[in-house]
Amino acid sequence: MQHVNLGMIGGGTVGSGVFHAWQKNGGLMAARLGVKINFRKIAVKAFDEPRPYPIARNLMTTDWQEVVNDPEIHVVIELVGGCGIARTMVLASLAQGKTVVTANKALISAHGPELFAAAAKSGANLYFEASVCGGIPIIKSLREGFVANQFPAIYGIVNGTCNYILSRMKAEGADFAAVLADAQKLGYAETPPDLDIDGHDAQHKIGILASLAHGFWADHHAIHTEGIRDVSKIDMQFAEKLGYTIKLLGIAKRISGRKPGVQVSVYPTLIPNTHVLAGVNGVFNACFVRGDIVGDTLFYGRGAGKDATASAVLSDVADAALDLKNGVKVRVAPFVPCNKGGRITSMAEIVSRYYLRLSVVDKPGTLAKIAAIFAAAKIGISSVIQPEGHEGESVPLILMIHDAPNAAMQRALAKIARLPVVKNPPVMFRVENFE
C-alpha cells in the first residue's frame, strides 16, 4: 500500500484532536482510501503545552521549518491560525510543492487569491474544509456535490459563539452582557470575544462560501458586517411576539436586475420561527444552501471544537492522499475564478424588510409624524405594535417595514431619529423570509 506522510504545525487543541482522530480511525481511512497515512512530524509551541489529547513525544519539534523542509513530508497541516506567521508557513510549504491543509479562515479570507496563485505555481493543492463550519462538509459540498449548480442563495449560522449567546438570550429572556459573561466562564466565548461577537469570524466564513459559490473572490473589506452586541432582550421578546427569532446570519445571495451582483453580508436577522434555521440552537452551525438545480438543502453540525474540526482536517488529508496515490496534483482546484465581472452589491442597494424599535413619547401625532417620513420615502409599514402606555411618557413602538432599499431606510431613520418625540437612537434589524 502506498504511504503518504503528514507534517502538522500546531499541536494545541485542534492539532491534538487531529492526532487523536488519526490514531483512532487512521486504519479505517487506510482501508477506505487504499493509502496509509503516517504522521512524521508535529511542530508545537512547547512540548508540554496544555492539550486535550496527548501527542507522541518522538514526533514533536518546536521548529516549524523542520516540518516544511522535510523532503519526506508530502502534506502539511497548518493549525496555527491568524494571518501572520501562518501565511509564511503556508507559502513556504506550497513553495516546496507540498499540499497544504488548513483550518485558517482568517488567512483564506484575507489572502485566498495569493495562496491559490502560490499553489497553482507550485502545482500543489490547498485544502481548507475546516475553515468554515468546523465538521460540516460544506466546502466539499459546494465544490463537488453541487458542482452542477448555481447558487441563488446561501444562508449560514456560521458562528457558534453568537448562536449560543442568542439562543440563551431567547430561551432565558436574558441580557446579552450576562449571557456573554457566562459563556466566557464556560469557555464558549473567548476573552476578548470581539472576533466572534462583532461578526468578523462569520464574515471570513460567509466570504469564503460566497467566493466558492459565485466564482470571484469576495473581498472581506466589502462584506457588510454587524455583530450581536446591539441585540437586546426586549428585541428578542418583540421578535418572538411577531413570530420571529433573531440569528446572526451570513448571507450570500444573488442579486439580479440592472446591476447584478451578490449580497455578501453578516448581521443579526429576524427569521420566521417556522424556518428550519430558527431551530438551530446552542453552539451548532447550519448552512441553508439553495442550488438552482438541487433546490433547498440544509447542513447542520458542530462548527468548532477539536473533534469536529479534526474530522474536516482529515477529510482534506484523505483527498490529498488520494491525489498523491493517483498521481493527480490538483483534482479539485482550491478556487476557480470563473466570474470575472462578479461584484459584491453594496448594502445601500440591497432591498430587505425591517424590524424597527423606537422609544417614543406617547402623545397625539407621534405615529403620524413617523408614518409621514416613511410615506415620503415611499416605504410601507406592514405592522405596528405599541404596548399600552401612559400619555406623555416614553413607550416602545415596534414597526415592521415592507421591502425597501437599505439606503432609503437609513435616510428615513436619520430623519426619524431627529424627531423630538423619538427619545433614543432607533434600533433596526433586517428581516429575512428566504423567498
Residues marked active site are found at: 205
Measured over the CA atoms of residue 67, residue 73, residue 79 and residue 84, the dihedral's sign is: positive
Q: What is the C-alpha separation between 195 and 283, in angstroms, rounded?
A: 16
What number of other Cβ atoms are within 10 A of residue 339's Cβ? 14
Nearer to ligand HSE, 161 or 211 (CB): 161
> How many chain residues touch ligand HSE (CB under 6 A)?
7
Q: How far is 128 from 255, CA to CA, in rounded Å?
A: 27
Q: To the nearest whole angstrom, how small is the minimum distance from the Cβ of residue 155 to ligand HSE? A: 16
227 binds ligand HSE (CB under 6 A): no
Taking the complex as a whole, how short is the minimal distance between the CB of residue 240 and ligand HSE, in angstroms?
Answer: 24
Site for ligand HSE contains 207 (CB under 6 A): no
Of the two residues 138 and 399, which places its CB atom closer to ligand HSE in the complex? Answer: 138
- Rounded (to 5) percent helix, strand, coil in the chain: 40, 25, 35
Provide the 3-class DSSP secondary structure of residue 388: coil
Q: How far is the CB of 93 from ligand HSE (least distance, A)?
A: 22
Please, which residue, 160 or 261, has the CB nearer to ligand HSE? 160
Among 304, 370, 416, 428, binds ligand HSE (CB under 6 A): 304
User: Applying CB under 6 A, does 303 fall inside the site for ligand HSE?
Assistant: yes
Shortest spacing between CB 325 and ligand HSE, in angstroms = 31
* Site membership for ligand HSE, residue 196 (CB under 6 A): yes
What DSSP designation does 131 have?
G
Give the whole-angstrom CA distance, residue 353 versus residue 216: 27
CB of 391 to ligand HSE, least distance (A): 46
Q: List 290's β-bridge partners, or say none.
A: 153, 296
Among positions 78, 129, 198, 201, the unique one binding ligand HSE when judged by CB under 6 A: 201
CB nearer to ligand HSE: give 226 or 323.
Answer: 226
* Smallest separation (angstroms) from ligand HSE to the CB of 81: 9
Nearest of 93, 75, 97, 83 to residue 22 by alpha carbon: 75
CB 98 within 8 A of CB 323: no
Which residues from 153-172 bind ligand HSE, rule CB under 6 A?
159-161
Q: How far from the centroid of its chain's Cα atoms is residue 167's Cα?
A: 17
**Which is nearer to ligand HSE, 154 or 409 (by Cβ)?**
154
Largest CA distance in the chain: 83
Q: Provide, rounded to whole angstroms, the least separation between the CB of residue 71 and ligand HSE.
A: 33
Least distance in angstroms from the C-beta of 52 to ligand HSE: 16
Q: Does 311 contact ligand HSE by CB under 6 A?
A: no
Reported in sequence order, the residue ranges of 216-347 that DSSP labels E, i.e. its strands, are 224-225, 244-255, 261-272, 284-291, 295-302
404 vs 12: CA distance, rounded Å? 48
**CA–CA distance, 43 with 61 (Å, rounded to integer):** 5
| Helix axes of 160-172 and 233-242: crossing angle, nearest 10 degrees | 80
Cα(51)–Cα(49) distance, integer angstroms: 6
Tell me which DSSP letter residue 422 carries: B
Q: Which is nearer to ligand HSE, 134 or 291 (CB)?
A: 134
Q: Which is nearer to ligand HSE, 20 or 204 (CB)?
A: 204
How far apart are the C-alpha atoms of 288 and 213, rounded to whole Å? 13
In terms of CB distance, is 5 or 203 closer to ligand HSE?
203
Half-sphere exposure of 200 (CA within 13 A, CB side): 9
38, containing H or E segment? strand 35-43
d(CA 230, CA 227): 8
Return residues touching ligand HSE (CB under 6 A). 159-161, 196, 201, 303-304
